[in-house]
Amino acid sequence: MTRRRNIAALVTAAVVLGGLPAAAADDLVVTEAKQRMAEGKDLYGAGKYEAAWLKYKQACVVLKSDNCTRGLAFTEFKSKRWLDAYQHMRELLLPAPKPSLTPPMVDELSRMMREAYAKTGHIGVRADTGATLSLDGTPLLASPSDAIDVLPGKHVLEASHLGRTRRL
């Protein structure tokens, strides 16, 4: 009986989604993302920061908005995800604050960003043109002009150039 219900649900979903024009399907996805964001806001208000983070993370995959990023940054900060919080706050504030942010929001995000910065590590790198870099085994796409932001702890930076490799 359960198998029959599962198959019926899959067939119904295929008919509903398959029969919708692309714009209507997109509208459903955006509506669902907005619902996740609203749930995240409610969970944040209830002090359930990890659950709120998950809802905002899901919503922000679809909703590329300052409002979603701000909610995500706040939940990351409250759930002590310092590196993610710092990076999202930086996205909102630098090089200049996003126009959608009010002065009190800018002040609060700036305060939180300073605190998150203090709880993370920052590695400055200078490398010759053409050098390839990796951090903890993950290739860096380009030689960073800014510091590389990392969680506190031990890290391995590797630089290769002209057939030579150096690990730090």
pLDDT(7) > 70: no
Q: Which residue has the higher pLDDT, 101 or 14?
A: 101
pLDDT at 20: 55
- Which DSSP string corresponds to 93-109? HSSS--TTS-HHHHHHH
pLDDT in tens, 150-168: 999 999 999 999 999 999 8
pLDDT in tens, 47-84: 999 999 999 999 999 999 999 999 999 999 999 999 99
Q: What is the pTM assigned to this prediction?
A: 0.78
